[in-house]
Amino acid sequence: MSAAHYVVKRKRTHSEPFDPLKLHASIVAACLAVRTLEGEAHLAAERVTRHVIEWLSSKTEVTSADLRRVASSHLQKYHSEAAYMYEHHVLIA
Amino acid sequence: MAKQKFDYDLIVIGNGAGGGVAADIVASSSKRVAIIEGDTLGGQCPNWGCVPTKALLHAANIYDAAKHGANFGIRAAAVGYNYPSVKAWKDLAVKRTGAATSQKYYQARGIHLFNGEAHFISPHEITVNRRHLSAEHFLVSTGSQWVIPDIVGLKNVPYLTPRTALDLIRPPKSIFIVGGGAVGVEFAELFSIFGSKVYIADFAPRLLPREDDEVGDMLGEHFTKHRGMSVLTKTKVTRVAREGIVTRVTYVRGGTEHTVKVDQVLIASGKTPTVDIGLENAGIEYSPKGIEVDEHLQTSAKHIYASGDVLGRYMYTHTAVYESRIVAHNLLNKNKVTPDYTAVPRVTFTTPEVASVGKSEADCLKRDLSIKTGIAPINIIGRSNIADQRDGFVKVITDRKGTLLGGTVVSPHAGEVIHELTLAIQHGMSAAEVANTLHAFPTWSEAVRVACTKIKL
């Protein structure tokens, strides 16, 4: 993953390079929180992360809220319950 | 309380027709203005939309007229074309718009230009190439982009879009056009004139489905009989696959699956507003159909305006320019104005041209309006005889009292003729008033007068 994509953090005090592993982990956590099998959680996280990376390809800087929104809209396709959890429980990861 | 300071008074996101005009007007009132453009200055219309397509069509029409000069005693046996030269002509027409080199103009006006994709990070702040810019007001005029339909195999085959089709170095031997709207039919005509075998497919029951029924029916017949195209209405393209140097297109029509092999596939199945710019971070309400605005073109975040294709209303250059002017006025004045879409003309540059304005018959039926229609075929007027152009008509629609509501012109120069009806509809004139106006003989506009005389109260 290119480090050219930056994420403006919630309080807008700083921005940091986009970390796909962090996104992956947060999606896995959301899936596991709704009692998804670990393998399924990793599979969904992998797919969603791929979508997000594709979406990011035309952008240089986005907000963490953007990441959450885009990731949850894709997660919705694979696991709607986890998507709800991901979207509404900000501190889940 | 200290006044909130911003980098700019206005930041315009998108330098197309919907943005540039407002930026220019607002900057002339000594305001600090910046424009953010992620692509070519000038946007779609001058660079890869109206201007290049019409330049190519103009060249094609000259070639076509020369080829068919025999009826008028013109020998045309040796007429040919050199497509790279045709393309060079198109490039010259694009260059002469000056859009791509308008940087100096804006700099002279004190407008700051930033090249990059803008993304809202808060209601008053955007990021462009990681540079954060703030403004008191914003104008979102990000335009639209082509929709790529969900066709099996499309991702794995090379296909053209209306933008990339402009840069072909030679017309394809055969082309399958997905989409029978205005852009699809214009490209169909262009490539057909230059000798391509054209298949044009649309899910709708006729070409130009947004126009009145008679228009699509006539154009479909014209394309089939005079241009040798395969017009595939009520058709769903289901699959595409690469086979060597050709593309195999599979489509379903009338419940039966068919397959054709073509050199190129052109996807022209409509446009969608460009809304992926972090609108949520600014509190702007939108849907995939476009940004929602009030009567003053203000979004749900009142300091942010929107204009042009991104509204998802009328995706025309002239409406975008009009909306841009409205936004500039509303930004600079307390008495805000509202756009009036009573008489929006639209033109499709085929032969014959198709132009319409105001309400279509289908619009009126949807609204349950009681209407009268008057139709005049163009072959009854003198100009048709002189030019030997027989296909076409003028149709006018009025309310019960005879006030004009809409009109359609299918004829040579329809794009010019339509403005008589545009003026009449905009100012609430009746068909009788138009019918009683002198029209010069022999002109195509006479058909407008004849159509208006057919409205009986």
Let me know if residue B1 belongs to a domain: no
Let me know if residue B123 belongs to a domain: yes
CB pairs under 8 A between A and B: 33
Q: What is the pLDDT of residue B157?
A: 96
Let me know if residue B340 belongs to a domain: no
Domain ranges of chain A: 6-88
Q: Determine, for residues B119 and A12 on separate chains, whether the beta-carbon distance falls below 8 Å.
A: no
Indicate whether B101 pLDDT > 90: no
Candidates A12, A61, A63, A68: best to mutate against B (most CBs of B within 10 A) is: A61
Let me know if residue B21 belongs to a domain: yes
Q: What is the pLDDT of residue B211?
A: 94
Q: What is the tens place of the pLDDT at every residue in B265-311?
A: 999 999 999 999 999 999 999 999 999 999 999 999 999 999 999 99
Chain B residues within 8 A of A60 when measuring between CB atoms: 116-117, 119, 127, 129-130
Q: Is the same domain home to B263 and B114?
A: no
Q: Determine, for residues A59 and B281 on separate chains, whether the beta-carbon distance falls below 8 Å.
A: no
Distance from CA of A5 to the nearest CA of B (A): 9
Chain A residues within 8 A of B121 when measuring between CB atoms: 8, 12, 61-63
- Per the structure, the count of domains in chain B is 4
Q: Is the same domain home to B406 and B309?
A: no
Q: What is the tens place of the pLDDT at every residue in B436-447?
A: 999 999 999 999
Contacting residues for B203 by C-beta, under 8 A, at least 6 apart: B234, B235, B236
Q: Is the same domain home to B35 and B74?
A: no
Q: Determine, for residues B130 and A62 on separate chains, whether the beta-carbon distance falls below 8 Å.
A: no
Cα–Cα dist B164/B287, whole Å: 28
Let me know if residue B422 belongs to a domain: yes
Measured CB to CB, residues of chain A less than 8 Å from chain B are: 6, 8, 12, 15, 55, 58-63, 65-66, 69
Residue A11: count of CB within 10 angstroms of its CB:
7
Please spell the DSSP secondary structure of B68-129, one letter per residue: TGGGGT---TT----HHHHHHHHHHHHHHH-GGGTHHHHHHTT-EEEES-EEEEETTEEEET
End-to-end alpha-carbon separation of chain B, Å? 66
Q: Determine, for residues A59 and B119 on separate chains, whether the beta-carbon distance falls below 8 Å.
A: yes
Cα–Cα dist B413/A63, whole Å: 51
Please compute the mean of the pLDDT values over residues B45-67 and round it to a whole number: 95
Q: Is the same domain home to B279 and B265?
A: no
Chain B residues within 8 A of A15 when measuring between CB atoms: 130
Residue B13: give the domain boundaries: 8-42+102-145+272-332
Q: Is the same domain home to B366 and B218?
A: no
Cα–Cα dist B250/B233, whole Å: 14
Q: Is the same domain home to B183 and B261?
A: yes
Reported confidence tier of residue B374, pLDDT bands at 50, 70, 90 = very high
Chain B residues within 8 A of A69 when measuring between CB atoms: 280
Q: Is the same domain home to B140 and B278?
A: yes
Q: What is the tens place of the pLDDT at every residue in B114-150?
A: 999 999 999 999 999 999 999 999 999 999 999 999 9
Distance from CA of B122 to the nearest CA of A (A): 9
Q: What is the pLDDT of residue A91?
A: 54
Residue that terminates a domain, selected from B236, B269, B302? B269
Let me know if residue B96 belongs to a domain: no
**What single-letter DSSP state applies at residue B282?**
G
Q: Which helix (H) or strand (E) holds B355?
A: strand B353-358
**What CATH number did the domain enclosing B356 receive?**
3.30.390.30
Q: Determine, for residues B121 and A12 on separate chains, whether the beta-carbon distance falls below 8 Å.
A: yes
Q: Is B58 helix (H, G, I), strand (E, B) or coil?
A: helix
Let me know if residue B385 belongs to a domain: yes
Indicate whether B313 pLDDT > 60: yes
Chain A residues within 8 A of B281 when measuring between CB atoms: 63, 65-66
Q: Is the same domain home to B265 and B291?
A: no
Reported confidence tier of residue A1, pLDDT bands at 50, 70, 90 = very low
B134 touches chain A (CB under 8 A): no
Distance from CA of A4 to the nearest CA of B (A): 10
Residue that terminates a domain, selected from B247, B269, B291? B269
- Asked if residues A74 and A53 have their Cβ atoms less than 8 Å apart, the reply is no
Q: Determine, for residues B278 and A63 on separate chains, whether the beta-carbon distance falls below 8 Å.
A: yes
Q: Determine, for residues A12 and B278 on separate chains, whether the beta-carbon distance falls below 8 Å.
A: no
B129 touches chain A (CB under 8 A): yes
Q: What is the tens place of the pLDDT at every residue in B1-32?
A: 445 589 999 999 999 999 999 999 999 999 99
Closest CA to B106 of B47, B24, B45: B24
Q: What is the pLDDT of residue A12?
A: 65
Q: Determine, for residues A63 and B281 on separate chains, whether the beta-carbon distance falls below 8 Å.
A: yes
Q: What is the tens place of the pLDDT at every residue in B142-198?
A: 999 999 999 999 999 999 999 999 999 999 999 999 999 999 999 999 999 999 999
Cα–Cα dist B306/B287, whole Å: 14
Distance from CA of B125 to the nearest CA of A (A): 11
Let me know if residue B30 belongs to a domain: yes
Distance from CA of B8 to the nearest CA of A (A): 20
Minimal Cα distance from A9: which residue of B?
B121
Closest CA to B46 of B17, B85, B22, B86: B17
- Give the whole-number percent of chain B exceeding pLDDT 70: 99
Candidates B117, B120, B126, B130: best to mutate against A (most CBs of A within 10 A) is: B130
Q: Is the same domain home to B281 and B241?
A: no
Burial of A53 (0-12, 13-18, 19+ CB in 10 A): middle
Cα–Cα dist B317/B144, whole Å: 12
Q: What is the tens place of the pLDDT at every residue in A22-50?
A: 999 999 999 999 988 999 999 999 999 99
Of the ranges A7-21, B230-244, B251-265, B310-324, which one carries the lowest mean pLDDT score?
A7-21
Chain B residues within 8 A of A58 when measuring between CB atoms: 117
Helix axes B17-27, B317-332, angle to 10 degrees: 30
pLDDT averaged over every residue in chain B: 95
Q: What is the pLDDT of residue A93?
A: 45
Q: Is the same domain home to B16 and B140?
A: yes
Contacting residues for B276 by C-beta, under 8 A, at least 6 apart: A55
B87 touches chain A (CB under 8 A): no
B119 touches chain A (CB under 8 A): yes
Distance from CA of A66 to the nearest CA of B (A): 7
Q: What is the pLDDT of residue A4?
A: 60
Distance from CA of A16 to the nearest CA of B (A): 11
Indicate whether A2 pLDDT > 60: no
**What CATH number did the domain enclosing B230 receive?**
3.50.50.60
Q: Is the same domain home to B408 and B433?
A: yes
B115 touches chain A (CB under 8 A): no
Q: Is the same domain home to B14 and B126?
A: yes
B130 touches chain A (CB under 8 A): yes
Q: Determine, for residues A60 and B280 on separate chains, whether the beta-carbon distance falls below 8 Å.
A: no
Of the ranges A8-12, B87-91, B136-140, B157-161, which one carries the lowest mean pLDDT score?
A8-12
- Give the whole-number percent of chain B exceeding pLDDT 90: 93
Q: What is the pLDDT of residue B32?
A: 96
pLDDT averaged over every residue in chain A: 86
What is the pTM for the complete model shown? 0.92
Minimal Cα distance from A10: which residue of B?
B121
B238-272 burial, b if ≥16 CB within 10 A, otherwise e? eebbeeeebbbbbbeeeeeeeebebbbbbbbbebb
Distance from CA of B115 to the nearest CA of A (A): 13
Q: Determine, for residues B117 and A66 on separate chains, whether the beta-carbon distance falls below 8 Å.
A: no
Q: What is the pLDDT of residue A8?
A: 77
Closest CA to B12 of B29, B34, B31: B34
Please compute the mean of the pLDDT values over residues B77-84 and round it to a whole number: 91
Q: What is the pLDDT of residue A5?
A: 78
Indicate whether B59 pLDDT > 80: yes
